[in-house]
Chains A and B, each alone.
Chain A
Amino acid sequence: MWEFIARSLDASTIFTFAALGELINQRSGVLNVGVEGVMLFGATFGFIAAQSTGSYLLGFLLGIAIGGLLGLLHGFFSVTLGADQVVVGMGIWILGFGLTTYIGNPYTGPLGMERIPTILGLSPFFYVGIALVVVSWFVLSKTSLGLRIRSVGENPSVAEVSGIDVTKTRYLCVTIGGMLGGLSGAIYSLFYNPVWNYNFLMGWGFIALALVFFSMWNPLILLGGSLLFGTMWQLSLNPQLVLPGVLSRYIWRTIPFVITIGVLLTMSTKWFRVRWGAARPEALAEPYVKQ
């Protein structure tokens, strides 16, 4: 049982990092639907770097770096060129899906390195994740930087008039968002499941995207959501722990996706929107053109 809980927390950590990055992105008004692509890139390059140098640190650093670069690319297209952010996000996802399949293929198989040591039975990333959530919450809601980010996401023209550099703030956020996405992918491929296989994420990035909507753009609720989905994911892999022999294991695999749709649906109902709808950044996915 303890092992199940530990694995669930490991899975939650991956959701937390990816979704937290996306949350910071969206708070500044930039939507990146390509989280899955960023994660695939971070995971694949992190895996290759770690395996060929034998250093976990280099793996994680490269994962973060490639994620940051993809964030910058997203920023260039959607902030500087003012392109449709959904199109750009789709582009990054399909680029990640296509290119990592080819690049990573020679490395198919297990990582073959000693596992990263745990702290009190849990992955070190779990503690880092919790700390990051608290820091992000504090920065976003209690500091002037956070106010800057939020105002850029709510109403960029007013922010610009009051002396905030919209472009710079958005670039900062997409880069941090990309770095966290890349790191999340690297944690997956270097710690959670250190075996490379093509398109191995199978929807983690898209669930992370849904988690951001679910969190109402609040990092603390996001942490709760990640814990929920991490446990759910782990449960769908090991259904025999709760209901042995009920339904085939393939049907269980659909459960996290069904629940994601259910959660999104609840959040889209009128009741929910009237009560909580104001949380959505007003300028989300709107390109900002300086007048």
Chain B
Amino acid sequence: MRIGSYELKLEKRLTLTGWEAAIGSILAIVVALVLFSVIFILAGINPLFAYQEIFSYAFANPYGLPLTINRFIFLLLCTSAFIIPFRAGLWNIGMTGQLYAGALGAFAVLFAFGGRESRTSDLAPEILIPFMLTAAALGGAGLGAIAGFLKGKFNTNEIVVTMMLNFIAFWLVAHMIKEGGPFMNPGGRGESFELPPSVYAPLIMGVPVTIFLALGVAILLYFAFAKTEIGYQIKAYGHSPAAARYAGISTLKIPFLVFSVGGALAGLAGYHYFAAVPGVYKIARNYGYFGDLAFYGIICGLISLGNPLAAIPVALLFGGLSIGGRFVQGKLNMGFGVDYALLGVLMIILVAFQFFYRYKIVWVKTGEERLDVGVYR
């Protein structure tokens, strides 16, 4: 396109600075929210009013804010679980299954200590809570490790494998908590037994301690990628597995490692939602909903371009959006699934914006007389 003696051209980016990336990501979110207002308009609702309601409920309401923070912890752990394999060029879309496995692990510990039979039994929290956390991490890691091992050893497509594991874990949870499964609630309501109050995760000003875990992991990951040898190896594998192999990096170890650690973090996210959020403390009947939420982790990971520190504000924003979306859905009598629809719109806009991460639009001053007019380049 030409305007005067200037020409609009696409130029391939050689590098993407932090600022350019941040501006791109913020623009993507803004464009998605603007596009999403179509859904509000179609439902006969003023989008500005809807967004005002969403944000004020999510971030400034005494009932909404704790929900947002709990959702944020969950999303940040899921995002970290996505980012670690992502840095190695691998796709972990199995956070859903890994968090189910983590929840099953945590509840298995309680089950072994007799937590199902009596809600009043005085189980020692200082022993049981670390046990539950470890079991949750191991459960998630175990499921992740399957995908990582198959990728490293046989180069099996990790997208299909992690997705299949999601469904396997989904039905395993159903088996454990429904129709006479071992973790079934004695009341028989198709959900798991409830946690004895003595092993509720400790709260600090109403916030579960898992927030330190999530934030600590994100910061640690940032330094691991920036400063350590293993972080470098993961990035090298991500650029080119073949080249990494020639450099002496094990092509079995890296996928196995990233999926195990990622799975462990997703497992902790499962612990968080089913054993640490006030008011839940059981594997609820609608556990599938929490599993679906893990897909926000993919979006957070992509929008923060695999940077664990950038994931912190992004997870907070999306946590708030999903909580606020659910709230306006009820308040304004909209159909079920506003938060799901938002997830979909955000994702496809993000895909469109991938283009701007690789190209930029520049104005080029052309000479007075162009010699290449009509020449196809």
Q: Which residues of A contact B (CB under 8 A)?
A: 33, 77, 81, 83-84, 86-88, 90-92, 94-99, 101-103, 105-106, 198-199, 202-203, 206-207, 209-210, 213, 248-251, 253-254, 257-258, 260-261, 264-265, 268-269
Contact = CB atoms under 8 A, between A and B. Distances in A.
A98 B168 contact: no
Interface string B328-365: 00000001111011111101101110110000000000
B39 A102 contact: yes
B6 interface: no
22 contacts: A83-B354, A88-B351, A90-B91, A94-B295, A94-B298, A94-B343, A95-B344, A96-B344, A97-B292, A98-B343, A102-B337, A105-B335, A105-B337, A203-B163, A206-B160, A213-B160, A248-B175, A250-B171, A251-B171, A253-B167, A253-B174, A257-B164
A102 B175 contact: no
A87 B150 CA distance: 21
Nearest to B357: A83
B138 to A, nearest CB: 20
Contacts of B93: 90
A103 B178 CA distance: 30
Interface in B88-133: 91, 93
A262 to B, nearest CB: 10
Interface in B304-349: 335-338, 340-345, 347-348
Chain A residues touching B, majority SS: helix
A263 B126 CA distance: 45
A90 B171 contact: no
A86 B302 CA distance: 12
B168 A257 contact: yes
Contacts of B160: 206, 209-210, 213, 260-261, 264
Nearest to A108: B336
Given A98-B341, A199-B292, A250-B178, A81 B348 contact: no
Given A92-B348, A99-B341, A102-B337, 12 more contacts: A77-B352, A98-B341, A102-B335, A102-B340, A203-B164, A213-B160, A248-B179, A249-B179, A250-B181, A261-B164, A264-B150, A265-B156
Nearest to A261: B164
Contact of A94 (B150, B165, B171, B344): B344
B135 interface: no
B100 to A, nearest CB: 12
A123 B163 CA distance: 30
A269 B344 contact: no
Contact of B154 (A83, A96, A199, A265): A265
Contacts of A84: 354
Interface string B172-201: 101100111100000000000000000000
Contacts of A249: 179
Interface of B: 39, 91, 93, 150, 154-157, 159-161, 163-165, 167-168, 171-172, 174-175, 178-181, 292, 295, 298-299, 302, 335-338, 340-345, 347-348, 350-352, 354-355
A90 B172 contact: no
Give the top 9 A-B pairs by smallest Cβ distance, nearest first. Answer: A98-B344, A91-B351, A102-B341, A102-B337, A250-B175, A268-B154, A101-B337, A101-B340, A94-B347
Contact of B181 (A86, A207, A248, A253): A248
Given A83-B355, A102-B336, A251-B175, A91 B167 contact: no
Among B165, B336, B338, find the residue whose CB has the most chain A CB atoms closer than 10 A. B336
Contacts of A81: 355
Contacts of B163: 203, 206
Contacts of B155: 268
Nearest to A268: B154
Contacts of A96: 344
Contacts of A258: 164, 168
A92 B157 CA distance: 19
A207 B167 CA distance: 11
A250 B150 CA distance: 25
Nearest to A199: B292
Contacts of A95: 344-345, 347-348
A206 B164 contact: yes
Contacts of A253: 167, 171, 174
Nearest to A236: B171
B225 to A, nearest CB: 20
Nearest to A36: B163
Contacts of A86: 91, 159
Given A250-B178, A251-B175, A99 B335 contact: no
A261 B168 CA distance: 11
A163 B124 CA distance: 75
B206 to A, nearest CB: 30
A96 B302 CA distance: 18
